[in-house]
Amino acid sequence: MPTLGFLKKKRTKDSTGSRELDSPTSPIKDGSPITPTSSKNRGSVISKASTKEDAHAASHSTQASKAPSHKPADSMNPSTYPQQAYATPQSSPEPYQQTSHNVPSIQNLIHPSNNQSTNHQYQNQQHASKPANGGVQQSQPAPQQVRVTKGKYTLGDFAIQRTLGTGSFGRVHLVQSKHNQRFYAVKVLKKAQVVKMKQVEHTNDERRMLQQVKHPFLITLWGTFQDSKNLYMVMDFVEGGELFSLLRKSQRFPNPVAKFYAAEVTLALDYLHAQNIIYRDLKPENLLLDRHGHLKITDFGFAKEVPDITWTLCGTPDYLAPEVVASKGYNKSVDWWSLGILIFEMLCGFTPFWDGGSPMKIYENILKGRVKYPPYIHPDAQDLLQKLITPDLTKRLGNLHAGSKDVMNHPWFAEVTWERLQKKDIDAPYVPPVRAGVGDASQFDKYPEETEAYGQSGEDPHGHLFPDF
């Protein structure tokens, strides 16, 4: 039985980024908000997530979405790429505290063994913003420390600072741990809002899925807690801002840049799908850049363990696969469709089915399935997109016999050395101009701050609905 669910908005506005520096230098040690120096035991988590979908009522029309406001403007000539804001650092970021191996470069994605020799203008601009460190190659394996996400944090453990992002049920704050002075991001969800929007099960799933995953390109959740009004999720603070902001500033990404981000997303999807987790909300707003320019996928609000088939309508209109729009049962291949939309948006600056911003029009276009590929799209990219953005599930890449390997082996990704990418041993094309480790939120948009105080005690009619927080 198809059930209706919940749709998120696609952002519309430009991001110019802000320049605020928030806090003094903090000690740099990996670890949880409370115990900075010790590795913690991360028990292996067995998911009990059910495949039964929630029966949420929300309609296509009431959950209106806005599409990107920017059609590509003036030129379809790739030679204009280097002039785009994308490659232009906006501040002089120093000092860098990281001992990064990353000399910004997309070239070693293309020429893995010859990485620093053929920088084009992108890298030259990036070099101007950040001194090279002598090309020290240090792979960064996924942190092996073990996490206890059931950490008993309270609001008193953190000094709440500015808002980093807002969402449907609350907001995400930059916070500083009072114990180790490190900075974290805390997602605050209003229980009443979650209940009203019938997102109780999705919110519990979000917590459970995040606890379960551990991957270099996925956000780390350290713990959760609640008070009478709100739920709190403590995550690593990803300093470089949203890919969305970078994309809007750049208008569109050059082929190799889109390929780099798409490849990191592909590895993350490969990992999630291997655990039978569908992500269901792929879009540039949910892709954050770390201080080195690598991606972290955040927002597991729709992630769910689904071994086979599910029905809930949820996601963001521009990114919905036709089988979701048509309220058919669907499987993890909806994420591969969304990857196609993401790659298209990165290469073009707009989504393929966007049409004046009306969700209904977007749905019609998705069901019609006609995609117009601009002439500047590389033929290999177009071939991949045609194989991802296809309604025919027996043809959609990622859903065939070899699964995600078919995507990874597609000619568009031919230059990608996946093992090195997984180790973050491929330099990112853009290194965000942030001061690492000091709570620099300059890459995030500014939002009006919350007026209602957190940490209230009192009547809590919804507390029992969130036993894991």
Ligand X SMILES: Nc1ncnc2c1ncn2[C@@H]1O[C@H](COP(=O)(O)OP(=O)(O)O)[C@@H](O)[C@H]1O
Nearest-approach distance from CB 169 to ligand X, in angstroms: 6
Asked if 199 interacts with Mg ion (CB under 5 A), we say no
Asked if 286 interacts with Mg ion (CB under 5 A), we say yes
Per-residue mark of binding to ligand X, 285-324 (x: CB under 6 A): xx-x---------xx-x-----------------------
Nearest-approach distance from CB 73 to Mg ion, in angstroms: 26
State which residue, 299 or 305, has the beta carbon closest to Mg ion.
299
Q: Which stretch binds Mg ion (CB under 5 A): 22-30, 94-102, 270-278, 294-302?
A: 294-302
Nearest-approach distance from CB 286 to ligand X, in angstroms: 5
State which residue, 122 or 237, has the beta carbon closest to ligand X.
237
Question: Does the annotation flag 372 for ligand binding?
Answer: no
Residues 420-449 that bind ligand X (CB under 6 A): none
State which residue, 300 or 350, has the beta carbon closest to Mg ion.
300
**CA gyration radius for the chain?**
21
Per-residue mark of binding to ligand X, 166-205 (x: CB under 6 A): -xx---x------------x-x------------------
Identify the active-site residue in 281, 335, 425, 445: 281
State which of residues 242, 290, 305, 427 lies at the interface with ligand X (CB under 6 A): 242
Q: Which stretch binds Mg ion (CB under 5 A): 256-264, 286-294, 404-412, 429-437?
A: 286-294
State which residue, 270 or 299, has the beta carbon closest to Mg ion.
299
State which residue, 58 or 172, has the beta carbon closest to ligand X.
172
Q: In the annotation, is 30 catalytic?
A: no
Asked if 238 interacts with ligand X (CB under 6 A), we say yes
Phi, psi for residue 277 in degrees, rounded to 5 = -100, 125
Residues 204-223 that bind ligand X (CB under 6 A): 219
How many residues sit close enough to ligand X to count as binding (CB under 6 A)? 20
**Secondary structure in 3-state letters for the chain:** CCCCCEECCCCCCCCCCCCCECCCCCCCCCCCCCCCCCCECCCCCCCCCCCCCCCCCCCCCCCCCCCCCCCCCCCCCHHHHHHCHHHCCCCCCCCCCCCCCCCCCCHHHHCCCCCCCCCCHHHHHHHHHCCCCCCCCCCCCCCCCECCCEEECCHHHEEEEEEEEECCCEEEEEEEECCCCCEEEEEEEEHHHHHHCCCHHHHHHHHHHHHHCCCCCECCEEEEEECCCEEEEEEECCCCCEHHHHHHHHCCCCHHHHHHHHHHHHHHHHHHHHCCEECCCCCHHHEEECCCCCEEECCCCCCEECCCCECCCEECHHHCCHHHHCCCCECCHHHHHHHHHHHHHHHHCCCCCCCCCCHHHHHHHHHHCCCCCCCCCCHHHHHHHHHHCCCCCCCCCCCCCCCHHHHHCCHHHCCCCHHHHHCCCCCCCCCCCCCCCCCECCCCCCCCCCCCCCCCCCCCCCHHHCCCC
State the binding partner of 398 from Mg ion, ligand X, none, CB within 5 to 8 A by kind: none
State which residue, 157 or 425, has the beta carbon closest to ligand X.
157
Q: Binding site residues, as ranges?
A: 187
| Catalytic residue set | 281
Using CB under 5 A, list all residues that contact Mg ion: 286, 299
Binding region for ATP: 187
**Contact residues: ligand X, CB under 6 A:** 8, 164-165, 167-168, 172, 185, 187, 219, 235-238, 242, 285-286, 288, 298-299, 301
